[in-house]
Amino acid sequence: LFMSILLFVGNSTYLDDHGPPPQKVLPFPSQVVYNRVGKCGSRTVVLLLRILSEKHGFNLVTSDIHNKTRLTKNEQMELIKNISTAEQPYLFTRHVHFLNFSRFGGDQPVYINIIRDPVNRFLSNYFFRRFGDWRGEQNHMIRTPSMRQEERYLDINVCILENYPECSNPRLFYIIPYFCGQHPRCREPGEWALERAKLNVNENFLLVGILEELEDVLLLLERFLPHYFKDVLSIYKNPEHRKLGNLTVTVKKTVPSPEAIQILYQRMRYEYEFYYYVKEQFHLLKRKFGLKTHTRKPRPRPEFFIPSPLETEEPIDDEEEDDEKWLEDIYKR
């Protein structure tokens, strides 16, 4: 009889009265990591996640560390341990290069991320570090108080054309390491880091979207992870929420000369190869789920055109360092 009671878990009044409470039924996946790339709209998404976590009851785990993306082996182990022991379902977010949980014996979570045209991302960061956004007094605030005045007002063209460290490699090799990982070679501009980043996108990321098509990114996140992102687009489009974006646009941005932009393209050629790879995969995914991509004309490769760095809507962002079977297959990776 005792064994029968133990086995009859489903409807046992005995267990209801005397046993442990029924175990929480977790959605799948119940472990999600958003290792957000700086100046790629991540603050917009985090603000949305704060609303969504209250609405849907998942555990949003954020980090106050914004300037340490590269970790020692011990730091990786400690962070993975802390993340893995968080109450599920959780979504962890931090500016940090890709972490391989399985390397340290942990369960590999589902990763998501968003990237942006590399030159636009660089310019946004360059001016944000100097002049902040529209939230401060007198319509803008100084973002980096310790920055010397001659550095703060350094002309962007001078920075690029005269090869200042901030405007040259390895500082410009920024997006790929977020997907390549913690290996030292991930920080070296080249084919090795590029190919490893592509491999991780294919094997470990549920979705990598592009900021220029953020609404479609949110639509797909709602489709793939409804227990986290249900109703996200309606919240994003809410006028009260959109007002916040108007306060966080980077100020005093200027467009570099065509010559300077061409030099940036040459220095960021691996970043652009990765960006176009991700963009192509994202558009394939959109077509698979019936979303159309509205483009005026096919854009040529970077060496043949000059974009307007101000054409991308500026979402809020943080300060950052210097068909169902398909879904099942993705989740089983």
CATH architecture for the domain at 31-122+178-251+270-291: 3-Layer(aba) Sandwich (3.40)
291 Cβ partners below 8 Å, 6+ apart?
216, 219, 220
3-state secondary structure of 186: helix
pLDDT of residue 60: 98
3-state secondary structure of 52: helix
Using alpha carbons, select from 278, 234, 241 the residue that is nearest to residue 121.
Answer: 278
pLDDT in tens, 40-61: 999 899 999 999 999 999 999 9
229-283 pLDDT per residue, tens? 999 999 999 988 776 655 455 656 788 999 999 999 999 999 999 999 999 999 9
Look at residue 67 in the predicted model and tell me its pLDDT. Answer: 86
What pLDDT, on a 0 to 100 scale, did the predictor assign at position 142?
59
Q: What letters, b where the CB count within 10 A reaches 16 and e where it falls short, cover 255-288?
A: ebeeebbbbbbebbbbbbbbbebbbebbbebbee
pLDDT value for 128:
86
Which stretches in the chain have pLDDT values below 50?
1-15, 136-140, 247, 298, 303-322
Report pLDDT for 16: 53
- List the catalytic residues: 95
Model pLDDT, residue 29: 93
Query: Nearest 5°: CA angle at 248, between 267 and 136?
Result: 115
Residues 6+ positions from 286 with CB-CB distance below 8 Å: 213, 216, 220, 292, 293
Q: What is the pTM of this model?
A: 0.82
Domain ranges of the chain: 31-122+178-251+270-291
In sign, the C-alpha dihedral spanning 82, 83, 84, 88 is positive
pLDDT at position 318, please? 46
Rounded Cα distance, 114 and 193, in Å? 18
Cβ contact 238:246 at 8 Å: no
